[in-house]
Amino acid sequence: MATRRSVLMRMGVVGSTVVGSGCLGSSGGDGTEENEENEVAAGPDGNPVFEPESIEIPVGETVTWTFESEGHNVSGKSDVDSEVEIPDGATPFASYDGNKSYELVPEGETYSHTFETAGTYTYVCVPHISVGMVGDVIVSE
């Protein structure tokens, strides 16, 4: 049976990528620079989607998810669903601690993760896997 994601991939909808221009944003407060291009909205306009669905960054950069509506989280832990895939040797990530995969991030809050291993990371919103709330971070050398 085809999943929503596999159908969208065949249609070419999932394959689109947003590539950061390398423009740096404001200082992160600790002397480091934050790249405003590496932001993903979780649940924009109350919809169960990540926007953009796919983002490309270089190794060592951070992606920040902003939770624009209630009821969402981020999981790059393969034990939550077969949709989740991360490169060999990469550190799993999630907006929740331990195995609390249904712990939600409050609206307006953010979650950030720095990607140290090249490859494609497919992550999910655990409560909305069944409706296709899946995203990709493509990390290049």
Q: Is the pLDDT of residue 89 over 50?
A: yes
Confidence of residue 25 (pLDDT cuts 50, 70, 90): very low
What homologous superfamily is domain 24-140 in, according to CATH?
A: Cupredoxins -  blue copper proteins (2.60.40.420)
Confidence of residue 107 (pLDDT cuts 50, 70, 90): very high
Tokens (6 digits) for 71:
């009821």
φ/ψ of residue 126, rounded to 5: -55, -50
**CA 101 to CA 72: how far, in whole Å?**
10
How do strand 134-140 and strand 119-124 relate by DSSP bridges?
antiparallel
DSSP label of 30? S
Contact 66, 40 (CB under 8 A): yes
